Structure 1
Amino acid sequence: MSGLRPPLAVIAGPTASGKSALALKLAAERRGVVINADASQVYADLSILSARPSAAEMQQAPHRLFGAIDGAEACTAARWAELARAEIAAAHAAGLLPILVGGTGLYLRTLLEGIAAVPPISQEVRANVRQLLDVRSALEAEDPAMASRLHANDTQRNARALEVIRSTGRSLADWQLASPQGGLLDEVELEPLVVEVPRDVLVQRIDSRIEAMWRAGALAEVERLAARRLPPALPVMRAIGVPPLLALLAGELSEAEAIERWKLDTRQYAKRQATWARNQTGDWPRHS
Structure 2
Amino acid sequence: MSGHARNEDKPAIDTGRAVLIAGPTASGKSALALRLAEQAGGVVINADSMQVYRDLRVITARPTEADEARVPHRLYGHRDAAINCSVGSWLDDAAAALAEARANRWLPVIIGGTGLYFKALLRGLSNVPPVPAEVREAVRARLARDGIEVLHAELARRDPDAGARLKPRDQARVARALEVIEATGRPLADWHGEGLPPLLSPAHVTAVFLAPDRAELYRRIDQRFAAMLKQGAREEVRALAARGLDPMLPAMKAHGVPVLIRHLRGEATLEEAQMVGAADTRHYAKRQFTWFRHQLPEFRWVRPEEAWDAIAA
- Please give the TM-score of this superposition, normalised by the length of structure 2: 0.83
Q: Deviations over 1:59-107 (max 9, x none)?
A: 2211111100011111111011000110111011101101110011112
In the alignment, is residue 211 of structure 1 matched against residue 226 of structure 2? yes
Establish whether residue 72 from structure 1 lines up as the match of residue 72 from structure 2. Answer: no
Change (3 A) 1:148 1:260: farther
Does 2:274 correspond to 1:246?
A: no
- Give distance in 1, aligned partners of 2:274 and 2:131: 37
| Worse-matched range after superposition: 154-163 or 229-238 | 154-163
Alpha-carbon contact 2:207-2:299 (below 8 Å) kept: yes
CA drift of 1:148 comes to 6.2
Tell me if structure 2 keeps the 8 A contact 1:135–1:159. Answer: no
Distance 1:259 1:141, change over 3 A: farther
- The corresponding residue for 2:46 is 36
**What corresponds to 2:199 in structure 1?**
184
> 1:191-202 to 2 correspondence within 5 Å?
191-202=206-217
Deviation at 1:213, TM superposition (A): 0.2
Q: Which amino acid aligns with 2:51?
A: Q
Please tell me whether the aligned partners of residues 155 and 235 of structure 1 are also in contact (alpha carbons under 8 angstroms).
Answer: no
Q: Which amino acid in structure 1 is aligned with residue 37 of structure 2?
A: A
**Percent identity between the aligned chains?**
47
Structure 1 residue 26 displacement after superposition: 1.1
Letter in 2 for 1:140: H
Deviation digits for residues 191-238 of structure 1 (CA, Å, limit 9, x no counterpart) = 211111121111111100100001111111000001111111111111
Structure 2 CA distance, aligned partners of 1:154 and 1:24?
Answer: 36
CA offsets 1:2-54 (integer angstroms, 9 cap, x no match): x9861111111111111111111211221110011101100000000110001
Q: Name the SS for the 2:19 alignment partner.
A: strand
1:170: how far off? 3.9
1:86 aligns with 2:88: no
Instruction: Say what the alpha-carbon RMSD is for the aligned residues.
Output: 2.5
**Mapping of 1:1-288 within 5 angstroms?**
6-131=16-141, 132-133=143-144, 137=149, 140-143=152-155, 145-146=161-162, 149=165, 157-176=173-192, 178-186=193-201, 189-288=204-303
- 1:128-184: CA deviation from partner (whole Å, max 9, x where unpaired): 3445449864663344543665688876555433422333344324433x2532211
Aligned pair count reads 285
- CA distance, structure 2, for counterparts of residue 227 and residue 78 of structure 1: 28
**1: CA distance between counterparts of 2:164 and 2:214?**
27
Change (3 A) 1:205 1:263: same
Q: Choose 1 or 2 for highest CA Rg.
A: 2
SS in 2 for 1:191: strand
- Give distance in 2, aligned partners of 1:42 and 1:257: 27
Gaps of 5+ in 1: none
Conserved? CA contact 2:15–2:105, under 8 Å:
no
Distance (Å, rounded) in 1 between the aligned partners of 2:220 and 2:167: 24
Equivalent residues of 1:138, 1:162 under 8 A apart: no
Structure 1 residue 271: Cα displacement: 1.3
Tell whether the 8 Å contact from 1:23 to 1:101 is kept in structure 2 after alignment: yes
The question of whether the paired residues in 1 share the 8 Å contact of 2:15 and 2:102 is answered with no
Partner Cα separation in structure 2 for residue 172 and residue 135 of structure 1: 22
Q: CA 1:18/1:93 → structure 2, altered by over 3 Å: closer, same or farther?
A: same
Secondary structure at the counterpart of residue 119 of structure 1: coil
Cα distance 1:229–1:208, how it changes in 2: closer, same or farther (>3 A)? same
